[in-house]
Amino acid sequence: MSPKLRPALLALAALAILPGFWRVACALPGFGSPVSPYGQAVNALLPEMRRVSNMVSAINFDVRGFDTIGEEFMLLAAVAGTVLLLRGGRGEDRADAGGRIGGRAIVPRADAVVLICRICGPFTFIFGVYVALHAMATPGGGFQGGVVIASSLLLIYLGEGYGRWRQLVREPVLDAVEGAGALLFVAAGLLPVFLGLRFLTNVLPFGTAKDMLSGGLMIVENAGVTLAVAGGFGTVLLEFMEETRATTSEVADPDDGRTGDRA
């Protein structure tokens, strides 16, 4: 397809979906309208029944927990598809040095960048863990915390360079973390089945309201989501960074710590 034809095709597609978009936008409730009966029921029942104060987590891991499992496997499938497409183009080979563009000068990495990334990387990881652990008491949860944890890996790349980043971030570890998270979520649902109960029925103490360890089985499900999301996004990040590695036809950058690798 020619470059000139692509904008025209995009404009036609936008015109085709514009009527539906306009109709949905006009059907939205006005600002300040009363919340739905579903939301009112959730706010009235779940704090007492499940001892949690974050209703989003209560819905994700209890009211519609089975749907959340489907979403996690959609993420798993998306990550697998990304890995398949990217790795299919470059193969399975690995290199410890980032690629370089011929004729472009290598800009040394500033000391301030290295220092800031070394300080912020661990704190970002800890903050992601914090967000995930407090999913039942405050806004946040396993998905948000997992994304923040995966983001800390990017700071390692920015601060240390491609080579050292590649030595620290290992693909088998990320794959294992993602798979373990999905397996933990499914195991949390199957455990009640083995006990003669319905799928995802709570079998653990609910704890105390507004406590970090409240929610019963939802804590295990949230942990599974944290691992799956952190491993999945970390794997996608790694695969995209692998696209910048040196190949046999490129000049490798021997200094992987203090010089700018190709991004």
Domain range annotation of the chain: 53-242
pLDDT at 257: 43
Facing residues of 245 across strands? 98
What's the confidence (pLDDT) of residue 251? Answer: 46
* C-alpha separations of 119 from 76, 109, 126, 144, 150 in Å: 31, 16, 12, 21, 16
Phi-psi region of 79 (alpha: psi -120 to 50; beta: other; left: phi over 0): alpha
- Residue 2, pLDDT score: 77
pTM for the model: 0.78
Looking up tokens 């300080």 gives 119
Q: Is 74 exposed, middle or buried (0-12, 13-18, 19+ CB in 10 A)?
A: exposed
Helix (H/G/I), strand (E/B), else coil: 245:
strand
pLDDT computed for residue 90 by the predictor: 61
Residue-level pLDDT at 240: 84
Q: What is the pLDDT along the chain (263 residues), one digit of tens a residue?
A: 677 888 899 999 999 999 999 999 998 888 877 777 888 888 888 888 889 999 999 999 999 889 999 988 999 899 988 888 877 656 555 555 666 666 667 777 889 999 999 999 999 999 999 999 999 988 888 999 999 999 999 898 888 887 788 788 888 899 899 999 999 999 999 999 999 999 999 999 998 888 888 899 999 999 999 999 999 999 998 888 877 766 554 444 444 444 444 43
**Sequence-distant (≥ 6) Cβ neighbours of residue 44 within 8 angstroms:** none
Q: What are phi and psi of 251, to 5 degrees?
A: -90, 120
pLDDT tens digits, residue range 35-87? 778 888 888 888 888 899 999 999 999 998 899 999 889 998 999 888 888 77
pLDDT the model gives residue 260: 41
Q: What is the model's pLDDT at position 131?
A: 94
pLDDT at residue 255, rounded to an integer = 45
